[in-house]
A and B are shown apart, each in its own frame.
Chain A
């Protein structure tokens, strides 16, 4: 007979406000097998856990049910407590009477009845729980970092500096990401490239970092400590090992007028190119869509002029499999565009701002390229339409951000600060110009941030107008900005030469597809979800995968770098051990019942099922049965649901446990 202990948490008042916890304790105390039932203010607190441990010892409890918050919150906590009291941790279950009960119902009577039933179900379940030994798996002490922006670079350097090998994968031909595109950075106005390029070079020269640029993640298999990652190295058409980076090919390439994405399409590049002069690696790539050789078969100039013979038109995509133990995802962000969106898209464009068809209405990143000394205008602020210097410039904040109607309701966090920076850069470069900023709220929490913003107004003479712009339209060569100043309550109209939109920060395109490959979760905007908003902000719910930078939510550079170092620290902590304990929630085959139809093998998403021969003492083959490799098994249980004779069982979720719960209904 089991001696089950039931512990009901008040969670302060979070539970007890709606659920009569004392009655729950009294009722479940009467259930057969329950030897002890009590309630307590905060079960997760130190005294709460003490109470639990004491009861296990004094009442000689065989199983434990904690009725409190979601198991996703504190299952680990209580299992650990149970373990320290000498019980197997898997003999402890949680009944969720907070998220699934007290918080979602108001009627005290109903909520109490429901809580009693929920606990009752868990009591029946826990009776069928078995002792599960923890499973240990080895750790591959190599890390994969996805994304070569500042977040990925920082994480890769930190992990490598700690002595572990790192694979850094970047989609573009060069690392550097968005930070390499910026002119100056707030709140210090130091040149972005000046602080970025040394780090990029460090990556290139680091003995423990293997850099794959122009490469993407093809497939991810395995689990924490033991991932197998397939990387697709896209055909660069230039052999990296041979190329010296002399740049002759780029000079001689006859196609010169391809808009350069790095310069927000303002500057031009040849068909064989590096995106920017400081690129790492400094190895060009052939843009096959625009290359004459690839389009018509003729040309071939670059191969002719290449001294080391690095140009290789026949190069194909290569798939490389890398075993790693941990993954840092640092894929960064993309800027929202006001262009017309396809019908049915949850995100909408700005028709009232011309859907991106007014040439001198640009976004913040384009302004960065205009302001950058290494940019297409050499640092001069010039209009894309006619190359004139804008004398009246309007900045509009919160374009796409905080706009439920457009499909994005979050704040993009960085725009207030970079717009203030833009007004300063503008004022430094166009002394007789006037900058106006339309804003809703100025959000400047950060060290020296508010001071920076105030400086743009007080010293750099930017005119801030509180009020969102209703509409923009072209009138002659001016852009009419229709706004209002809500402080005075009057409409404001400005005939501007240029308008800069602080467009929303969105996750990279394809963020959802990558998440699916990695098996990590993401929110409705495709930002990756951390395991816990406060306490586990750099970990994914999927063990062994960590987040850094704007792929998790809008972030500025200091925050991104901090998170990247934090993710690196998490990886280093993981690598500090030789063996990992993993949850023993794995499938096991009952060989006696197995008839070897291998339905389990057919449906297993992990390929964890093997065929095993059973022989008698004479060595004659008796039958072939399934065997689940516990190291590979992911624990989904699809095999068990599929097995006709139920000869494979998922520990922790056996039919007995589930049926016990259904029967407790």
Chain B
């Protein structure tokens, strides 16, 4: 079951199409740079790359190892990217949702971007060696319940249709499992998880939505959240993080991927996404929306919890 291979044969053609398009837009001067993936030193692995010359377009690839959400390079990790001119960017469906969210939050402008969407059947889980074949067992948990294999609204998408088998939904199952617990059991579970946290803030660093220049949790006047990696501070940090991402996080799961302590961070985000879907029928998608679910209201919103 777990060894069931997932068809990634289109990735070669996708790579070719990306290279072609990148070459074209760079040479025609459409964009100043293209942010994409390139092969890295280790066999089969990939890493983000910024291509500014048409000649370098051949470096660009797409494979099951292209796990990163490149959106973050357009905001706080923008240093290597030219300041002026349109930027091309290679996006998977999940990455595109983040980009769309950032547009809604005035961090990016659509007209300044050239979106190269990738038809994606899934990428590898963070724990798997990069040259492993993509199977039901090696695929990243977020891809198991992906509803955005084919990004829409991009400037260019290679005409390939990814084959996507139905997989067991990891997060939904985990959420259901936790919801069935008693509060005390849930507390014990999260306490165990958060206890591991070393406050390296990799989750914050990699998150496209954590674009604040000065994080609330770093402030000391007042100190809202204890900064040392003690259980109390860890707990508070993760609650604040989940709350700040509620209604914004689109599920790229980068936080979870980069967490050195393997804390299931995306689980919190998915739980919040589920609640907001149930409460306000809001889901992160491909459409730019001016106001997220927590920036607006309806007079008839549910208030059954308020006496």
A–B: direct contact at CB < 8 Å = yes
**One of B132-140, B228-236, B260-268, B287-295 contacting the partner:** B287-295
Residues of A within 8 Å of B211, CB to CB, are 595, 597
Contact A642 B212 (CB under 8 A): no
Contact of B214 among A592, A597, A602, A624 (CB under 8 A): A592
**One of A7-15, A270-278, A281-289, A652-660 contacting the partner:** A652-660
Task: Confirm or deny: A598 has a beta carbon within 8 angstroms of a beta carbon on chain B.
Answer: yes
A159 to chain B, nearest CB (A): 35
A136 to chain B, nearest CB (A): 30
Q: Mark A565-600, 1 if CB is under 8 A from B, else 0.
A: 000000000000000000000000000110111110
* Closest 6 A/B residue pairs (Cβ): A645-B212, A659-B222, A602-B295, A597-B105, A593-B214, A656-B222
Q: Mark A406-421, 1 if CB is under 8 A from B, else 0.
A: 0000000000000000
Knowing A593-B213, A597-B211 are in contact, say whether A644-B244 is a contact too (CB < 8 A).
yes
Contact of A642 among B219, B290, B294 (CB under 8 A): B294
Q: What's the Cα separation between A371 and B289 when bound, in Å? A: 64
Residues of B within 8 Å of A660, CB to CB, are 222
Knowing A644-B244, A655-B224 are in contact, say whether A595-B213 is a contact too (CB < 8 A).
yes
Nearest A residue (CB) for B213: A595
Q: What's the Cα separation between A593 and B296 when bound, in Å? A: 23
Nearest B residue (CB) for A658: B222
B108 to chain A, nearest CB (A): 11
Binding site for A on B (CB under 8 A): 105-107, 211-216, 219, 221-224, 244, 290-291, 294-296
Residues of A within 8 Å of B296, CB to CB, are 602-603
Contact A598 B213 (CB under 8 A): no
Task: Confirm or deny: A647 has a beta carbon within 8 angstroms of a beta carbon on chain B.
Answer: yes
Contact B294 A645 (CB under 8 A): no
Task: Confirm or deny: A646 has a beta carbon within 8 angstroms of a beta carbon on chain B.
Answer: yes
Residues of B within 8 Å of A659, CB to CB, are 222-224
Contact of B106 among A592, A596, A642, A646 (CB under 8 A): A596
Contact of A602 among B212, B219, B221, B290 (CB under 8 A): B290
Q: What's the Cα separation between A660 and B221 when bound, in Å? A: 10
Q: What's the Cα separation between A593 and B218 when bound, in Å? A: 12
Residues of B within 8 Å of A602, CB to CB, are 290-291, 295-296
Contact A597 B106 (CB under 8 A): yes
Q: What's the Cα separation between A595 and B215 when bound, in Å? A: 11
Q: What's the Cα separation between A142 and B222 when bound, in Å? A: 44
Q: What's the Cα separation between A597 and B103 when bound, in Å? A: 9
A598 to chain B, nearest CB (A): 5
Nearest A residue (CB) for B210: A644
Residues of A within 8 Å of B214, CB to CB, are 592-593, 645, 647
A599 to chain B, nearest CB (A): 6
Nearest B residue (CB) for A590: B214
Contact B212 A598 (CB under 8 A): no
Contacts A595-B212, A659-B222 aside, 13 further interface pairs with beta carbons under 8 A come to: A592-B213, A593-B213, A597-B106, A599-B105, A602-B290, A603-B295, A624-B106, A644-B212, A644-B244, A645-B213, A646-B216, A647-B212, A647-B214
Which bucket holds chain A's interface residue count? Answer: 10 to 19
Q: What's the Cα separation between A646 and B296 when bound, in Å? A: 19
Nearest A residue (CB) for B295: A602
A277 to chain B, nearest CB (A): 43
Nearest B residue (CB) for A623: B213
Q: What's the Cα separation between A603 and B105 when bound, in Å? A: 13
A-B pair count, CB < 8 Å, reads: 49
Q: What's the Cα separation between A603 and B221 when bound, in Å? A: 25
Contact B212 A593 (CB under 8 A): yes
Contact B216 A644 (CB under 8 A): yes
B103 to chain A, nearest CB (A): 11
Residues of A within 8 Å of B222, CB to CB, are 655-656, 659-660
Knowing A602-B290, A602-B296, A655-B224 are in contact, say whether A645-B106 is a contact too (CB < 8 A).
no
Identify 20 residue pairs between A and B in the complex whose beta-carbon atoms are under 8 Å apart, listed by A's number: A593-B212, A593-B213, A595-B107, A596-B107, A597-B105, A597-B106, A597-B107, A598-B106, A602-B290, A602-B295, A603-B296, A624-B106, A644-B216, A645-B214, A645-B216, A646-B216, A646-B219, A647-B214, A655-B222, A660-B222
Q: What's the Cα separation between A599 and B209 when bound, in Å? A: 13
Knowing A644-B212, A644-B216, A646-B216 are in contact, say whether A598-B294 is a contact too (CB < 8 A).
no
Nearest B residue (CB) for A598: B106
Nearest A residue (CB) for B240: A644
B98 to chain A, nearest CB (A): 14
Residues of A within 8 Å of B216, CB to CB, are 644-646
A609 to chain B, nearest CB (A): 12
Q: Mark A279-306, 1 if CB is under 8 A from B, else 0.
A: 0000000000000000000000000000
A652 to chain B, nearest CB (A): 15
Q: What's the Cα separation between A293 and B105 when bound, in Å? A: 52
Residues of A within 8 Å of B224, CB to CB, are 646, 655, 659
Knowing A646-B219, A655-B222 are in contact, say whether A599-B212 is a contact too (CB < 8 A).
no
Residues of B within 8 Å of A642, CB to CB, are 294-295
Q: What's the Cα separation between A655 and B222 when bound, in Å? A: 7
A660 to chain B, nearest CB (A): 7
Residues of B within 8 Å of A647, CB to CB, are 212, 214
Q: What's the Cα separation between A545 and B124 when bound, in Å? A: 64
Contact B106 A656 (CB under 8 A): no
Q: What's the Cα separation between A646 and B244 when bound, in Å? A: 12
Residues of B within 8 Å of A599, CB to CB, are 105, 295
Residues of A within 8 Å of B223, CB to CB, are 659
B295 to chain A, nearest CB (A): 4
Nearest B residue (CB) for A594: B213
Contact of B215 among A603, A624, A645 (CB under 8 A): A645
Nearest A residue (CB) for B248: A644
A376 to chain B, nearest CB (A): 43
Q: What's the Cα separation between A150 and B76 when bound, in Å? A: 64
Residues of B within 8 Å of A598, CB to CB, are 105-106
Residues of B within 8 Å of A645, CB to CB, are 212-216
Nearest A residue (CB) for B102: A597
B204 to chain A, nearest CB (A): 12
Q: What's the Cα separation between A647 and B216 when bound, in Å? A: 9
Nearest A residue (CB) for B290: A602
Q: What's the Cα separation between A596 and B294 when bound, in Å? A: 17
**Which of the listed residues A592, A655, A660 has the most CB atoms from chain B within 10 Å of its own CB?**
A655
Q: What's the Cα separation between A645 and B290 when bound, in Å? A: 19
Q: What's the Cα separation between A593 and B213 when bound, in Å? A: 6
Residues of B within 8 Å of A624, CB to CB, are 106
Nearest B residue (CB) for A645: B212
B84 to chain A, nearest CB (A): 10
Q: What's the Cα separation between A644 and B249 when bound, in Å? A: 14
Residues of B within 8 Å of A656, CB to CB, are 221-222
**Which of the listed residues A596, A602, A656, A660 has the most CB atoms from chain B within 10 Å of its own CB?**
A602
Q: What's the Cα separation between A40 and B154 when bound, in Å? A: 73
A130 to chain B, nearest CB (A): 12
Q: What's the Cα separation between A284 and B219 when bound, in Å? A: 67
Nearest B residue (CB) for A656: B222
Which residues of A in the span 609-649 have a Cβ within 8 Å of any Cβ on B?
624, 642, 644-647
Residues of A within 8 Å of B295, CB to CB, are 599, 602-603, 642
Residues of A within 8 Å of B213, CB to CB, are 592-593, 595, 645
B270 to chain A, nearest CB (A): 20
Q: What's the Cα separation between A598 and B223 when bound, in Å? A: 24
Nearest B residue (CB) for A603: B295
Q: What's the Cα separation between A273 and B214 when bound, in Å? A: 67
Q: What's the Cα separation between A645 and B213 when bound, in Å? A: 8
Q: What's the Cα separation between A537 and B290 when bound, in Å? A: 44
Q: What's the Cα separation between A645 and B204 when bound, in Å? A: 13
B90 to chain A, nearest CB (A): 25
